[in-house]
A and B are shown apart, each in its own frame.
Chain A
């Protein structure tokens, strides 16, 4: 499959997603406005806490705001790219129209990842980045170019991790069919990534960093922007996410060979 074929597929799917999202004007506007509401909802508690203390577990307000901003970005990307696709695939497997997806001459894993993009969630992701930008501009010292690059790399690695996790969840739907609950679980776990993992102690911190890599996804990029992330940790994170993506792909291919298709 050539790069142009992939690009063509992505553009075509985005086009459809845009048309579907804009089909009801009122709901398009409402969803966009709602997503800003959620940003405020996420930021305000943090500001309240820091009214009373200058420092929580070694994180100042602006440093913690980095984590919150990254969390909002992640939430937006999840809502735009991951969750709607998950719901769509599970639905397709259940009613059998997944057959048509399998019949397209495009890699199926790619196709199901872009099949139902929710563009109204993208402003949410964007406003997360704005929060990160504002918080970063108030840091002292300001993050260097290398720090920003490291943070961006970590964000991508985090997304790859989530995508891998999500792929495995979808693959299990070939056997269990109903997995939408898993997406709720996934979302609740991610909620823990709202605060720096440093807020948590002992076993919880360990679990959130390495078992369910939520902390890794939001806290590590924030640490990179603070210039506090050791290079080994950066490498380890990229390695883990690459490895996990490959594992997810293997699971996916195995699952496809055992797909039984809903009978007609």
Chain B
């Protein structure tokens, strides 16, 4: 379905010393530097998979998605999606994929969203009644029936994103590249988009490759994650493996019945107070028993829980471990 081997993309960008003087210098003699946006990345994705693409800003996630969708020509390496080489941008390929970019919109700003759908219908050569069925299905799933006849500029950010999804899925693509589809949305709207993507994958069996800043998106949607940072692939596998391998710490969380005395706190030296009045010890898995014992002995416990660390922490640690190698 998707096969990527040794994928590499280098950009050459002008380098400029700071300030006006630097600008003048760069006008006269321009120096270039090569930015290695993506470096020797390989993976394969099977039909119907939902894969999360994780990495810090500038890691090369978007560049990879752009190469997969045919917008950029790779510097080196091979890409094959649905049996096509994406950069050929053949109509037979483009009509089977879609790319949604959370930060760029294709809706016609001054017209109702319905008109963008009609335009895309014509450009993708979808039959009228088929398009109507798809739009009906999508608008029902996304609960936006009432919004289709309002000019796009009068819609909220979340409503616009829903309409973007309809415009992008009208031709029922087999592969969905979603680049930060939830960016800037409030929590409730993030959940709506997330549920929608999952449901659409279930209904159509489409393959989904998703990048997001929000770990909750990835955790909820993607059984498999690919982590890249500084253009290189760092991890590829099930989300649990990532957490297990890099998140061996546990959090022991105590909710006290009353404010602990200084003496009690001194005895429970593994614990630290958090802003919401709880006491938390972050310890290696092997030390969980010791931490719990200490809490039971020293603290006025109302509730006690042992948690896995948040995904954010795991990822942050993964990047911190590997950054020097980059």
Chain A residues packing against B (C-beta within 8 Å)? 1, 5, 8-9, 11-13, 15-16, 19-20, 23, 95-97, 99-100, 102-106, 108, 111, 257-261, 263-264
Interface secondary structure of B, over-half rule: mixed
B interface size (C-beta, 8 A): 39
Q: Which residue of B lies closest to A23 (CB)?
A: B110
Residues of chain B within 8 A of A259, CB atoms compared: 71-72
Task: Choose among A8, A15, A99, A104 the residue that contacts B66 (Cβ–Cβ < 8 A).
Answer: A99
Q: How far is the CA of A9 from the CA of B115 in the complex (A)?
A: 14
Q: Does B219 sit within 8 A of A, measured CB to CB?
A: no
Residues of chain B within 8 A of A9, CB atoms compared: 122-123
Q: Does B55 sit within 8 A of A, measured CB to CB?
A: no
Among the 9-residue stretches B94-102, B135-143, B240-248, B297-305, the one with 4 or more Cβ atoms under 8 Å from chain A is B94-102
B122-A8 in contact (CB<8A): yes
Task: Choose among A12, A16, A264 the residue that contacts B101 (Cβ–Cβ < 8 A).
Answer: A264
Q: How many A-B residue pairs have CB under 8 A?
A: 87
Residues of chain B within 8 A of A20, CB atoms compared: 108, 110-111
User: With A1-B91, A12-B119, A261-B66 as given contacts, are A103 and B111 in contact (CB-CB < 8 Å)?
Assistant: no
User: With A1-B91, A11-B122, A264-B101 as given contacts, are A100 and B106 in contact (CB-CB < 8 Å)?
Assistant: yes
A12-B104 in contact (CB<8A): no
Q: Does B180 sit within 8 A of A, measured CB to CB?
A: yes
B108-A16 in contact (CB<8A): yes
Residues of chain A within 8 A of B98, CB atoms compared: 103
What are the 9 A-B residue pairs with the smallest beta carbon separation, nearest first? A12-B122, A105-B91, A100-B106, A105-B94, A105-B95, A264-B103, A104-B123, A8-B122, A12-B119
Min Cβ gap B278→A in Å is 38
Q: Does B105 sit within 8 A of A, measured CB to CB?
A: yes
Q: How far is the CA of A99 from the CA of B106 in the complex (A)?
A: 9
B104-A263 in contact (CB<8A): no
Chain B residues packing against A (C-beta within 8 Å)? 11, 62-63, 66, 69-73, 87, 89, 91-95, 97-99, 101-106, 108, 110-111, 115, 118-125, 179-180
14 contacts between A and B (CB under 8 A): A8-B125, A11-B122, A12-B121, A16-B119, A19-B111, A23-B111, A99-B66, A99-B101, A102-B71, A104-B94, A257-B73, A260-B11, A263-B62, A264-B103
Q: Which residue of A lies closest to B95 (CB)?
A: A105
B124-A104 in contact (CB<8A): yes
Q: How far is the CA of A12 from the CA of B119 in the complex (A)?
A: 6
B104-A264 in contact (CB<8A): yes
Min Cβ gap B256→A in Å is 46
Q: Which residue of B lies closest to A19 (CB)?
A: B111
Residues of chain B within 8 A of A96, CB atoms compared: 101, 103-104
Q: How far is the CA of A219 from the CA of B105 in the complex (A)?
A: 44
Min Cβ gap A26→B in Å is 15
Q: Which residue of B lies closest to A106 (CB)?
A: B123
Task: Choose among B62, B71, B72, B87 the residue that contacts A103 (Cβ–Cβ < 8 A).
Answer: B71
Min Cβ gap A126→B in Å is 26
Residues of chain A within 8 A of B87, CB atoms compared: 257
Q: Which residue of A lies closest to B109 (CB)?
A: A20
Residues of chain B within 8 A of A104, CB atoms compared: 94, 120, 123-124
Q: How far is the CA of A105 from the CA of B94 in the complex (A)?
A: 5
Q: How far is the CA of A8 from the CA of B127 in the complex (A)?
A: 11
Residues of chain A within 8 A of B69, CB atoms compared: 103
Residues of chain B within 8 A of A97, CB atoms compared: 104-106
Question: Counting chain B CB atoms within 10 Å of each CB, which of A1, A13, A99, A261 scores highest?
Answer: A99
Q: How far is the CA of A103 from the CA of B177 in the complex (A)?
A: 12
Residues of chain B within 8 A of A5, CB atoms compared: 91, 125
